[in-house]
Homo-oligomer: A and B are copies of this chain.
Amino acid sequence: MSIVVLHGSTRDGGNTEQLAELVLKGIPHENILLRDKNILPIHDLRHDEGGFCPVEDDYDVVIQKVLEHDVLIFATPVYWYGMTGILKNFIDRWSQSLRDERYDFKGLIAQKKAYVIAVGGDQPRIKALPLIQQFKYTFDFVNLPFQGYIIGKASKPGDIVNDTRAAQEAQWLNQVLRNP
């Protein structure tokens, strides 16, 4: 079982990354830092005659990497009660993958499992619930089983260490990922 973490954070070593590290402690995995990739917003041409055009950026390479793994962990800070724009632009591009004839996106992604790690500052265990619901709808659309999520609370750098509940949940998820 191989694991990839898709990081939606915009800065190095922030609270979300720290919580992800706790979750993955001692478990081999690949990290993809979306902030270091060039991923353009989707240009919706679904309904144009030619369909989507190839886009010159890093999306193809990243999505191929993602699809090589069995477990997808989406790790995002909660920005304005949603995922970061960086991660959203990445997911928006799935609409293109769904129509890409070079690979069977829908067939492949349905064989994986998804987890979400989200860290926010403003009552995240309540106010990040719409974000969790959106992930659920999104994963359902591509038949990707949503296996669980962890919500952490942190604002200033390093704050996450004070969230004992998130720490305990990270431990739970660590166990689950070790013994799938």
Partner-B contacts on A (CB < 8 A)? 9-11, 14, 35, 41-45, 47, 77, 79-86, 88-92, 94-95, 122, 125-127, 129-134, 136-138, 141, 146, 148-149, 156-157, 164-165, 168-169, 171-172, 175
A sample of 15 inter-chain contacts (CB < 8 A) reads: A35-B43, A41-B86, A41-B89, A42-B85, A80-B94, A80-B138, A81-B134, A86-B89, A88-B88, A88-B89, A125-B149, A129-B133, A130-B130, A164-B172, A165-B172
The answer to whether B130 touches A134 (Cβ under 8 A) is yes
The answer to whether B47 touches A79 (Cβ under 8 A) is no
The answer to whether B146 touches A122 (Cβ under 8 A) is no
The answer to whether B132 touches A131 (Cβ under 8 A) is no
Interface of A is mostly: helix
The answer to whether A11 touches B45 (Cβ under 8 A) is yes
Known: A80-B138, A168-B168, A168-B171. 17 other contacts (CB 8 A): A11-B44, A41-B89, A42-B79, A42-B85, A47-B157, A79-B88, A81-B134, A81-B137, A82-B83, A83-B88, A84-B88, A85-B88, A126-B132, A129-B130, A131-B134, A165-B172, A168-B169
